[in-house]
Structure 1
Amino acid sequence: MKSSTGIFKKYQKPIVQTISILGIILMILMAFFIANSGFFANPARVQEWIAGFGSVAPLLFLAITFIQVVIPVLPGNVSTVVGVMLFDIGLGSFLNIVGIFLGSLANFLLARRFGRGFAGYFVKSATYDKYIGWVNKGKRFERFFVISMVFPGFPDDFICLVAGLTKLSLKKFIIYFLLCKPVTLFFYTLVPLYGMHYLYDLIW
């Protein structure tokens, strides 16, 4: 009788592809909603409408953020900006941090469980080849991991997958992530958000 791990390995590629397609559709629908909601004209009204759904709205967004990290279909700063737009800076930032942390933790654990083949499904081969070499660099990878969590321009989601293939302990992964990511995530969310507001005011 085949184990659940063996069955997952056999079907993991179509599973990943299916979830990716669903994620893309979901993100398109979210972008369409934002574009037609009149948020920039009256953000308080849109936030009030979202609040009418009670706890369902933040839980749904948390789930979307988690999926976006595990199955990346858009740059991460897109979903983080949407979170702050819909739930304000306080709750939006909290949901972003929790969702991204849980997704990154899932990436780490999934890569550690299923290996390089699993990690390779989520990025282009050029990106895979560029970063997979860090797997055997020990302490150097730890320093690189911290840098990638602090500065923009790195494929954070994939690097968390790579981290799961290294000897980096789960405890260190959690500590490094929670020390580095929240503050920078907050900063990288506010800059695009205020930039979008500026462009809207400039155009309209």
Structure 2
Amino acid sequence: MKTGVGMTHLKKTLINYQKPIVRITSIVGIILLIGIAFLIFESGFFNNPDRVQNWVEGFGSIAPLAFLGLTYVQVVIPVLPGNVSTVVGVMLFGIGLGSVLNIVGIFIGSLTNFLLARRFGRGFASYFVKQETYDKYIGWVNKGKRFERFFWISLVFPGFPDDFICLIAGLTKMPLKKFVFYFLLCKPITLFIYTLFAIYGMQFFYDLIQSI
């Protein structure tokens, strides 16, 4: 009985701290997003990308490992939109290494989300998202095969909160092997395509601004 009361108290405590944490991470994310956009344009990447990549290579193996760690943390504690970090990765390390670092970091982070949700339940799944997002997607937990279709669709198409949906997957009866299969089948190729679209889109706007 005491254990049940203790768990209830813990859940209430998490809910009390949830909104401030979501608010703080959102503000930090906006500030970082503006800062990253400024640094990208100021770095001269679009004029001379090799210069930026040579600068990164000067840090040796520390740079890719640090970026891999940041990508992992970004998935588990979503501060920046995922597409921002993937674009930065390709800009800094090139299409080959940058894409590998992106998918490895995102995969390990998504797998962590899946396992944490399976271990700690709905209270944890709601911790780092807005209540509206939680209410919108949590209903998929009990939809069985329909959730599996929704899961791979969310990995293929943009606009879905992938990190949170991986948390939801951990609350369902989806086997770990199936989660890994769907993720590795759908995410790498679509992530690569969307990242290139974003980079070329930024290049287009940069050239447009320069021509004005």
TM superposition score normalised by structure 1: 0.87
The percent of aligned pairs where both chains have the same amino acid is: 72
Tell me the CA shift for residue 200 of structure 1. Answer: 0.8
Unpaired segments ≥5 residues, structure 1 = none
User: Residue in 1 aligned with 2:107?
Assistant: 101
**Structure 1 partner of 2:168:** 162
Report the equivalent of 1:57.
Answer: 63
1:74 is paired with a residue whose SS is coil
Deviations 1:121-146 (A, max 9, x none): 22111111111001111111111111
Q: Which runs of 5+ in 2 are unaligned?
A: none
- Label 1:109 to 1:95 Cα distance change in 2 as closer, same or farther (>3 A): same
Alignment of 1:130-145 (within 5 A): 130-145=136-151
Q: State the aligned residue count.
A: 198
Q: Who is 1:153 aligned against? A: 159
Question: Partners of 1:31 and 1:114 in 2: how far apart?
Answer: 36
Q: Secondary structure at the match of 1:121?
A: coil
Q: Deviations over 1:79-102 (max 9, x none)?
A: 111111111100010011001101
* 1:129 maps onto 2:135 in alignment: yes
1:11-50, aligned counterparts within 5 Å? 13=17, 17=21, 20=25, 24=29, 30-50=36-56
Tell me, in whole angstroms, the C-alpha distance in 2 between the residues paired with 1:26 and 1:201: 24
Determine the C-alpha separation between the residues in 2 that align with 1:11 and 1:129: 16
- Look up the match of 2:187: 181
Which contiguous aligned blocks of 4+ residues in structure 1 show a shift greater than 6 angstroms? 8-12
Structure label with greater radius of gyration: 2
Question: Alpha-carbon deviations, 1:67-125, whole Å to 9, x = none?
Answer: 11111122211111111111110001001100110110111011111111111122111
- Compare 25-34 and 187-196 and name the one that shifted more: 25-34
Residue 113 (1) aligns with residue 119 (2): yes
Distance 2:28 2:151 in 1: 26
TM-score normalised to structure 2 length: 0.84
Q: C-alpha root-mean-square deviation of aligned residues, in Å?
A: 2.5
- Read off the aligned partner of 2:140 and give its amino acid letter: W
Deviation at 1:28, TM superposition (A): 5.8
